[in-house]
Structures are given as structure tokens and as C-alpha cells.
Chains A and B, each alone.
Chain A
Amino acid sequence: SQQGEEDPQALSIQEGENATMNCSYKTSINNLQWYRQNSGRGLVHLILIRSNEREKHSGRLRVTLDTSKKSSSLLITASRAADTASYFCATDPVKAAGNKLTFGGGTRVLVKP
């Protein structure tokens, strides 16, 4: 079963605006990762944040992690039409055998030019 819950499920914004999506999870984690998936394609790794980190940046991406609330957020600043994709959080649970990732439901982002 999927551990992560993401909201919103879908997001539509204008180019240049910021996009924020949230992810909540249930168990203790080693790290949390964000991925992007273009329609009908594989997943592209965006950023990994470890359980002892609170915030991380990569280009126009900003990720926060609050382990006390078991939640994370992904912010895409100054969005572009090319950012249109589905975004998934994935957790690496502490007690999971085999280091398997558990994915959230995803947020479908549409950036209108």
C-alpha cells in the first residue's frame, strides 16, 4: 500500500508562478525523495532530503521536511511550461526490508504558457 499522500492531486498555474505541493507519510524514514514524471515516461529523480535535514535547494526547487509532522513540501519557483508533469514523493522507510521506496499518489501540475 502507498504510504504517502500528496496534495493537491492536481494544480494548474500560469507560467512564472510558483507551484507548491505537499506530501505526508506515516512511518519513520531514512530519507524522502521527489520525482517528476512526464506523461507516459519514466521517473526522473529531482531531489533527496535526509531525515536529519530540514530544507534543501536545487535550482528552482526547494524541498522542506518536517519529521515531527511527517510531511514534506516541494516548491517550484518561476514555473515554466516544461515543468508540466506529475510529481511524486517517495519515502525510504526505516523498517522496510530491501530499501524499497513507497510512493505518494502524486500531484499533476499543469503550467499554462
Chain B
Amino acid sequence: GAVVSQHPSRVICKSGTSVKIECRSLDFQATTMFWYRQFPKQSLMLMATSNEGSKATYEQGVEKDKFLINHASLTLSTLTVTSAHPEDSSFYICSASGRDAGYTFGSGTRLTVV
């Protein structure tokens, strides 16, 4: 079946620094990737949708200059949290979909900003 690898699974960073999270589709071409954010005991909130080779579409209220998304190839998308602050601490999950694959989720990244 389709597999999506998300890395790192956990990261702790200092306030003001930037963190990059990678999402790779291992055995299919992901024409679209989605980035979600999840606070404890809450649901997934879609942050942005990215199509390979084009700019990401951000959901209302999500700062595109703070959450940089790159989808340069059909197997890789990255989310960079720039100038991270403690309130950015959260669980970030990517999802990928392709022509022959439904929605496949990564295992998530726990970001803690100290």
C-alpha cells in the first residue's frame, strides 16, 4: 500500500529558530500534499494544500510567511516553521494523495518550541 514518511517525528527547538519538516511519498507520486496541525485532544486543522510545482494554498488564518511550504517534486513536500515561538508547539501531520493512491498520512511531527 501507499506509504508516506514524515521526518522528524519529534523536534525541540529554541524560540526564534526555524524548523523544517519533511514529508515523502515512498511508493507513489503525490500530486497533492496537505499539511495539518493538531493541538492536544483536538481534531486536525488543515493549514495548506500544495500541488507539485506550484505555490501552496493556505487556509484562512494561516500565515504563509511563517509556515513555508515547498512541494518541489512529486515525492517530497516540506513545511518550514520560521521564527518559531512556543505557541507554534503542536503536532504537525502531512498527507499525500496521488492518482492511484487515496489520502495517506505521515506519522506526524511533535514540535516543541522552548
Contacts and interface: CB of A to CB of B under 8 A. Distances in A.
Contacts of B41: 108
Interface string B1-41: 00000100000000000000000000000001010100001
Interface string A61-91: 0000000000000000000000000001010
A97 B42 CA distance: 24
Contacts, number: 54
Interface in A9-55: 33, 35, 40-45, 48
Interface residues of B, number: 25
B110 interface: yes
A12 to B, nearest CB: 15
B93 to A, nearest CB: 6
Given A33-B103, A40-B91, A42-B93, A101 B43 contact: no
Contact of A88 (B43, B104, B106, B107): B43
8 residue pairs, one from A and one from B, having the closest CB atoms: A42-B107, A43-B105, A98-B49, A42-B105, A103-B44, A42-B108, A103-B43, A105-B43
A41 B107 contact: yes
A33 to B, nearest CB: 7
Given A33-B103, A45-B102, A48-B102, A100 B46 contact: yes
Interface string A85-113: 00010100000011111111110100000
